[in-house]
Structure 1
């Protein structure tokens, strides 16, 4: 268990630009307006995850191909969604899905969702990431732990998701001390249930904890019965404006 502290000194003066990492919207047929808005957003987006059907699906989807193409044309990375099931999915199955993402959608990298976080599974995750980089050398790899993992994971991928959960937990959260050894560009926070009136507070927490990629939404999981990431926040234009103009800094 890493030692935890309440803030991360020094990140407020780094000049690092906060940006948005989109964990995934609903299918473009169900969320056409959301995908259109993402394609118009541009630079404030660090990347957008494409989740066709809990992965790449069993055949190419023209609607997803169009959505991914419009994002890349706007200069936004598109990441394929690979669910590792906390290390329980077979290695070959995960890599086969990565192959399909690359062949069908020309993705720029991958989000390894439900990524294990303990030391014992670190070699397994390193093997997976190594295989993904063999498929595409410049792939942008994000490990979706949702919590602070063993520090060794920081050397394995481009970014780590070190918080994923509700606002009620995030506002009192603490950051692992070891993260101070790495720049904010390495860390992501996904927070749901953030009220519009607390958006500035949430942005300050991310800045002081040293996370440069964030996704804040007022959508909730409705007690675990809904996906809070499938639609854009109700204050989408507001958060894009704040981040795009550097207000969060």
Structure 2
């Protein structure tokens, strides 16, 4: 995939627009290079709508960027109705047109649960569905989603791995140097480290202050 022609960045950016307006402006300016942005107001949609997130979500959609509502599935332990309620709130409050299901297991025994979630996510308006396994999953998951995150972790671990690559796989890498580029067509590499690496933008999108 040629980044100059096709959107290639899936950006999980977990910062409030009021606190980091310059970073959200940089995301909007980079719209042609974005596969999508993961919207995560409060480890999910939150309990009440947040006007600041609604504003940036609207501007992203107007720029042609997928807005993916974040929902934690706790490796299959979170009840189905709770996950679906999160996705419905993302749709109703922020106009999300996709879903990013986090903490998805890799083992095949959870497939029936995620098959139901996938059906419900589509019914809730998710035109794009991303499953974040963080590692390579059992083959059955490939039929459920548009994109599978098959690696999430630090650059030092990633650069020594020989992982399968496909158009529907995505690698999310943190603690990455400026020249890092993951192998999958859709990807994200950020400099952030520690417990909250996704509070940083990819090096190429960092605003000039």
TM-score normalised by the chain length of structure 1:
0.77
**Is the counterpart of residue 215 in structure 1 residue 184 in structure 2?**
no
Report deviation, 1:236: 2.8
Shift of 1:40: 1.1
Q: 1:227 — aligned with what?
A: 196
2:191/2:200 contact within 8 Å kept: no
Q: Which runs of 5+ in 2 are unaligned?
A: none
1:246 aligned residue? none
Secondary structure of the residue aligned to 2:101 is strand
Confirm or deny that 1:128 pairs with 2:96: no
Task: Give the Å deviation of 1:234.
Answer: 4.5
Instruction: Find the counterpart in structure 2 of residue 113 from structure 1.
Output: 102
Deviations along 1:27-66, whole A, 9 cap, x unmatched? 1122211111111111100000110101111111100000
Contact 2:188 2:202 in 1 (8 A): no
From 159, 167, 191, give the equivalent of 2:147. 159
User: Larger % of helix: which?
Assistant: 1
Contact conserved, 2:130 with 2:149, CA < 8 A, in 1? yes
Change in 2 beyond 3 A, CA 1:50/1:18: closer
Residues of 2 paired with 1:91 and 1:77: CA distance? Answer: 24
Task: Quote the offset at 1:231 in angstroms.
Answer: 2.0
Q: Is the 8 A contact 2:44 2:70 kept in 1?
A: yes
Per the TM alignment, residue 24 of structure 1 is displaced from its structure 2 partner at its CA by 2.3
**Kept in 1: contact 2:30–2:205 (CA 8 A):** no
- Alignment-derived partner of residue 175 in structure 1: 163
> Would the alpha carbon gap of residues 18 and 71 (structure 1) be closer, same or farther in structure 2, given more than 3 Å must change?
closer
Aligned length, in residue pairs: 206
Which one scores higher on RCO, CA 8 angstroms, separation ≥ 6?
Answer: 1
2 CA distance for matches of 1:213 and 1:85?
A: 24
Task: Assess, with a 3 A threshold, how the Cα gap between structure 1 residues 84 and 21 changes in structure 2: closer, same or farther.
Answer: same
Flag structure 1 segments of 5+ consecutive residues without an equivalent: 1-11, 239-249
> Given the two structures, how large is their TM-score scaled by the length of structure 2?
0.92
* 1:16 shift after superposition: 8.5
1:191 counterpart = 2:180: no
Q: How many angstroms does 1:194 deviate by?
A: 1.2
Contact 2:155 2:176 in 1 (8 A): yes
Aligned to 1:236: 205
- CA RMSD in angstroms comes to 2.1
Kindly tell me: are residues 62 and 16 of structure 1, through their superposed partners in 2, closer, same or farther at Cα, counting changes over 3 Å? closer
Q: Tell me how far 1:18 sits from its aligned partner.
A: 6.3
**Partner-residue secondary structure (3-state), 1:229:** helix
